[in-house]
Structure 1
Amino acid sequence: MTAETWIWVAVAVVVLAALAAVGYAVLQQQRRSRLRSRFGPEYERIMAGHENRRAAEQDMIAREQRLAELDIKPLTPQARDGYAARWTEVQERFVDTPGFAVTEADQLVTAVMAERGYPTEDFEQRLADLSVGHAATLDHYRQAHTISGRAAHKEASTEELRQAMVHYRALFEELLAETTTEGRHAR
């Protein structure tokens, strides 16, 4: 080979390497954008909970994979109506027994999650599972759960209990909606 041929080969290798690097960067940015869109406000929370971006993104991908393996399904119209009626009863009981009503709201949200197919044994795992399809209301759930824990020790004011009900309702209504885990309407 001549020197000129070696130069062209070297140029071609450099160009291919540059194209591969650009392609990799574009794919990373697309993945990051997709995860940010999918996890919404939870994206930054998950990022803050990890040492680096790669570990956080791997956690989000693992959450998506775990959720895909679960049998998450929409509620039947009858179940949805039954849960909506129970929610109305819980709200009515709030006037006389706010602490008890908040406990019932927590139990009702958990029951809806279980019927939809979410594992409900561990609170942190519930948060991780819900983060994939319900990130927009997940902070409501966290706040309601915190207040509910304080209410169990009689350390929450009536206003805080009212706020817990509002927070539980945000996730409750979203779970009741007829959607799949991808956020699309079920058929």
Structure 2
Amino acid sequence: MTTVVIIVAVVLVAACALAFLYTRRTSGHGMRRRFGPEYDRTVARHDGDTKAAERELHERLKRHGSLHERSLTPEARAQYAERWTRIEGGFVDAPQQSVAEADALLAELARDLGFPDGSDFGEQSAALSVHHAEHVNGYRRVHAAKQGEGSTEDMREAVLEARGLFNVLVSNGTDRQVHRHPHHAEGRGTA
């Protein structure tokens, strides 16, 4: 009987220790480390209320943490890269159109990789923030710029920042940069 009590006590202590470590990892410093700038952005959106921000981020983790990205084929990667290059190349002549196309391309790319489809931008950007917190803000900026928010310079900066998320997504999460095609002159017409 004493052996059973000791075994139960050891199991309970181990379970409590694991629960403590999990809670610590997914709150406070663990959340800040996992979400990086997205943590600060969420805290700011909650007027500095870290508990509310951490609840929101924890909810995102529960909803989207187990999402498994699908890989793109080399052909699909090349097609997306070509489309992105055309978007950037057309920016000088049609910045608003380029921003709208960048927003649509990011939504389509995320959907093709297994994220929620772009019909609900908030849901899609929340899922992206769980898996690509360092880069999702560029997508948000492009989406806002598509709505007509900001100057041409703001749109240019949004597209440049969104390129970070595009590069991570199109390279299947490896952070490789999009390779420019040689027929595009360096700096000519690029955002």
Whether TM exceeds 0.5 here: the answer is yes
The 5 Å alignment of 1:58-69 reads 58-69=55-66
> Deviating runs (4+, > 4 A) in structure 1?
23-28, 48-55
Structure 2 unaligned runs (5+)? 1-12, 176-191
Q: Find the partner of 2:105 among 88, 108, 113.
A: 108
Distance 2:111 2:23 in 1: 35
Name the CA shift for 1:157/1:67 in 2 (closer, same or farther; >3 Å): same
| Alpha-carbon RMSD | 3.0
Q: Tell whether 2:118 aligns with 1:123.
A: no
Offset, 1:26 = 6.6
Identify unmatched segments of 5+ residues in structure 1.
Answer: 1-18
The aligned residue for residue 99 of structure 1 is 96
Deviation track 1:27-70 (CA, whole Å, cap 9, x = no partner) reads 64443232222111112333344595454434323212222454
User: How many residues are treated as equivalent by the alignment?
Assistant: 158
What does residue 177 of structure 1 align with? 171
- Structure 2 residue identity aligned to 1:43: Y
TM-score (norm: length of structure 2): 0.68
Counterparts in 2 of 1:58 and 1:79: CA distance versus 1, 3 Å: same
Structure whose residues are more often helix by fraction: 1
The CA deviation string for residues 122-142 of structure 1, in whole angstroms up to 9 with x for no partner, is: 121122111111111122222
- Give the match for residue 166 of structure 1: 160
Aligned-partner SS, 2:135: helix
Identity of aligned residues (%): 37
Distance in 2 of aligned mates of 1:68 and 1:122: 18
8 Å CA contact 1:148, 1:164 repeated in 2: no
The answer (yes or no) to whether the contact 1:140–1:167 under 8 Å persists in 2 is yes
**Secondary structure, in 3 states, of the residue corresponding to 2:26?**
helix
- Match for 2:36 among 31, 35, 40? 40
Q: Distance in 1 between matches of 2:113 and 2:65?
A: 13
Larger RCO, structures 1/2 (Cα 8 Å, 6+ apart): 1
How far apart are the structure 1 equivalents of 2:160 and 2:23?
38
How has the CA–CA distance of structure 1 residues 64 and 92 changed in structure 2, closer, same or farther, with 3 Å as cutoff?
Answer: same
| Structure having the higher Rg | 1
TM-score in terms of structure 1 length? 0.69
Question: In 2 relative to 1, CA 96–66 (structure 1 residues): closer, same or farther, beyond 3 Å?
Answer: same
8 Å CA contact 2:31, 2:54 repeated in 1? yes
Q: In structure 2, do the counterparts of structure 1 residues 58 and 90 end up closer, same or farther at CA, with 3 Å as the change threshold?
A: same
